[in-house]
Structure 1
């Protein structure tokens, strides 16, 4: 029997969304959207339960849940016009992740005992917790990547050879699709992204059904607790008039590598991903550029690469420490930002994982080298 260990409060939920956004390294969705679900759960009396990875029973049935799609901003008016032309009813739901899991249970005849987050992220990790709450089960205190990533084939079960199939996708309009089999995980990623594009941005997905024994070997343990700690550190620093950026860097055991103004962002929405580069400049004229594919992957300082995936490159508000995604509406020219680099989960630095996480995977002729910390922020 798999029993939860921890029940989260409203404040825990807020810390979780904030901290998971830091670990989301520019991707993972807007925290406000994930928090809205958790507030609703708490209001109607549901519990937000976590289970430690070590306590997941061998015979428990686990399911991975995630959001699939581009984080790029959309033209809402044009989307609504097309939805009307397609005959889509006006009703919407933000609770389509739970539906994806229920439909996967119906397709497979298996009952899910524990949800495993695909990745950290300000929207996605709270959304998985909310789905677990709605289903009356627990979410693991750990996820399958330890940082947000843009592709399904980059998470640890995929690297270890597991297929996500059967997998179910559900969107906010009520459409549900089941992928019974895929010839490869990159192909499953492609199919999922096209479902997301058909849904004008994103779908919720459920898949990677594994026993507790199998899942425990693949989860990056403690990432939910870590996210809560990071979010709490930022909140408490602000409350006590300490520097929240320094607090964030300390909480992730990272380093502040740049602080300056956002000069511009060049981006495009292409095949279900948000690609682009942001450019920052400080008062001394130093410049930083960060290349992203949904998430931040390469940081250059005055033209020299100083950090790359799988290390974490997080962008936060330079005054409040609040983390930003690359699609955040406040990411505007002139915004004071700080960049924090922290170490990748050890599993992602192994050779089989680096094949999918190094800059070369993204088409850049750069070798991954672990970031050299000076701990100047501490």
Structure 2
């Protein structure tokens, strides 16, 4: 029977006796490697990334804070838990360490039980986070194939000439709903990268009018249940004309969906949510989503902040991610009031 793979621990301390004590505590459970200074520690991590690092603070040359800052600043090593082991126990030191991304502190002199417990706990937390991320990645990948089928089959059926208007409308809504799910699935995989400003857009020519129409089609049933009318106006006209934009279609779909969906949920019954798309400026496209909202007035000041919403009106992630997508495209999003209505405006540079 194959045994469970042992986790790799890197111990970094310029005092040999401290290294010896920690190796004695952990060597029978984990694969332990050591480094006696900060620069050697960085070289060791680059060559063989550990699962966790026990790091002294006060070392000559590059101290523990410097090592931690460099590792947390590198996407390849930022998720490695770092536990500072130190004689320093003041609040300022701990605050600085946690601000740099440290997972925990262990104060010298060491206790075998404390060292083993904290190492075990942080390894378990990391393993749980990695497992969750892997499951989500597999799920997102596996969803693409059935979602593409949901999108493709109605599209093929719509090529038939012997369809009633009602059936055509139903098939179109199925296709639009499939595209919405595909956009949501895509957003889940790139949101963190956009937050970290490490995401690279794959721009392609797209029709923002068509994307907005798909969003409104997918939200039609939700709006109908609240007796809310969805209205689309393009460059001041009720007859939608194409507005072309170089961007990522799935992200733009999520951006518009998140705001319109919020407006539908936050509006009073028997109201109108107006979506206006304008390309009157040669350098900017503007999308306005206007509605009367039942959300508390104070929420408008924190409209785009993460986790700013209350339980009734959501977590704030929809509006937060919408502005994040706009900014990733080089634009922005703002909220304002006009004639006792709330207006969420998205600006996209052309």
TM-score range, shorter chain: under 0.3
Q: Which has the higher contact order (CA 8 A, sep 6+)?
A: 1
Q: More strand per residue: 1 or 2?
A: 1
Q: More helix per residue: 1 or 2?
A: 2
